[in-house]
Chains A and B, each alone.
Chain A
Amino acid sequence: MMEEEIQSEEQKTISDFWPSIAVSGGIFGVIIFALGLVFGYMQINAEPTGAILSPLMLSGVVICLVVALAGGVAIWHYTKEETPYVKLGQGALIGFLTGAVLVVVSTVLNELWHFIDPDYTQKMMEATIANIEAMDMPAEQKQMMIDSTAETMRAQQSIFQQILYGIPMYGILNLITGMIAVKIFGKKKEQETF
C-alpha cells in the first residue's frame, strides 16, 4: 500500500493538485475579501482620531499574516486527500498557484462589491484622509501620506493591476509557506542508501 502511494507520487500531474489549490485559494480569497471589508467599514465608521495605526493599516498586517497561511493549508489538504508523499517542488508549485488563485478570487469579489456599494472606495478614501489630517505631524509629511493614500486607493480600483501585481507577491509568499508545510505535513521516502 505504502509503495503504491510512493510510486503514484512520482506520477502526479498538476491536475492532481488543483482540488487543494482551488479549495485553499478559494477559501482564503473569500477570507481576505471579508477581512478587507470589515476593516474597510471600520475605517469608514471610525472617528478621525489621528491614530497612526488606523483600521486600514491594521488590515494590511492581518491580511498579510492570513494570506501566508493559504499555501500551508493547501499542502495540508493535499496530504490528507491525495497522498502524504509530497515533494518539495510540488509543495512550492501548489503554494504559488494557491497564492495566484486567492488573488483572483479576492479581486473578483472586490469588484463585485462595487455593485453593492458603489461609493465604498470613495468613502474609505475620505475616512482615511480625514484620519491623516487629524494626525499630529509636520504638514509636509501629512501631505505626503495623503497623496500616497489617495494614489494607493486609486490604483486599487484597477482589476488588471491588482492581479498583475498581486500574483507574483502572494505567489512567492505562499510558495515559501507551501515548502514549510511540506516539511511539517509531508512524509518522506528514504533518499539514498549505502
Chain B
Amino acid sequence: MKHQPLYLFVFIALGFMLLFSMGEILWGSSQGKHWTEMLFLGICHNLPDRTFSADGYFMAVNTRCFGIFAGLWFGWGMIPWLKSITDQKKWPIWVLLFAVVIQIIDYTGNLFHIWENTNHSRALLGMALGIAIPTALADQFQIRKTKKTDR
C-alpha cells in the first residue's frame, strides 16, 4: 500500500470527526453551546429536529452530516480491500458524482415539498456519499504494477 502515513492520518482524523459528531450523546451536555457543535458550526446547520438524539441529548451534526462522516470513516477503513474493484476504473468517480447529485436532488425535493425525507433517509443518503469518497480515492493508495518496456 502507498502513502501509508497519509492513509493512517486521514483514518484517525475521520475517526475523531465521527466521535466529535456524536456531540452530547458521547461527550455529555454542557452550559451554552456544546463545544462539539461549535466545531461543526461552519459546515452543518444542526437543526434539532433534523438531528439524532438519545434521552434528550443531541448529536453535534444533523443526520445527513452524521451519515457522511460515518460513511467516510467506514469507507476509508475499507480502502485496502477495494483494490480489485476500483483499480484503474472510472466508475468510482461517476458514483461519487452521482452521490453528490442525489443529495442535491433529495434536499431540493424536500425543500419544495415534492417529497418529504426523514432523518433515517437523510442519514442513509449521506452515508452513500461518505462511502463514495474513499471508494473514488482507493486506487490512489494502491501500488500499480506496470510492465517494463524495452527501449
In the complex, A166 has a CB within 8 A of chain B: yes
The docked-state distance in angstroms from the alpha carbon of A156 to that of B33 is 11
Mask, B23-53, CB within 8 Å of A = 1, is 0000000001100011111111111110000
Establish whether residues B47 and A192, one from each chain, have CB atoms under 8 Å apart when the complex forms.
Answer: no
Residues of B within 8 A of A115 (CB): none
Q: Is the CB of B17 within 8 A of A194?
A: no
Which chain A residue has the least Cβ–Cβ distance from B62? A60
Known: A61-B107, A145-B47, A155-B33. A192 touches B146 (CB 8 A): yes
A57–B133 CA distance with the chains assembled, in angstroms: 25
Nearest Cβ distance between residue B54 and chain A, in whole angstroms?
16
* Mask: chain A, 28-45; 1 = CB below 8 Å from B; 0 = not: 000000000000000000
Interface of A is mostly: helix
Given A180-B137, A183-B137: A169 touches B38 (CB 8 Å cut-off): no
Asked if A165 and B137 make an inter-chain contact with CB atoms under 8 angstroms apart, the answer reads: no
B151 close to chain A: CB less than 8 A: no
Closest-by-CB residue of A relative to B5 is A89
Interface magnitude class on chain B: 35 or more
Question: A155 vs B37: C-alpha distance in the bound complex, in angstroms?
Answer: 11
In the complex the two chains form, what is the Cα distance from A166 to B44 in whole Å? 12
Contacts of B93 in A (CB 8 A): 183-184
Contact (Cβ within 8 A) A155 B147: no
A92: contacting residue among B10, B32, B72, CB under 8 A = B10
Complex: how many Å from CA A114 to CA B137? Answer: 41
- Show 9 A/B contacts (Cβ-Cβ < 8 Å), sorted by A: A52-B49, A67-B43, A92-B10, A148-B33, A155-B38, A169-B43, A172-B13, A179-B140, A180-B133
Known: A88-B6, A89-B3, A192-B143. 19 other contacts (CB 8 A): A57-B45, A57-B47, A60-B44, A60-B45, A61-B45, A61-B107, A64-B43, A92-B6, A137-B49, A145-B47, A161-B38, A165-B42, A170-B43, A176-B137, A183-B93, A183-B139, A190-B144, A191-B2, A193-B146
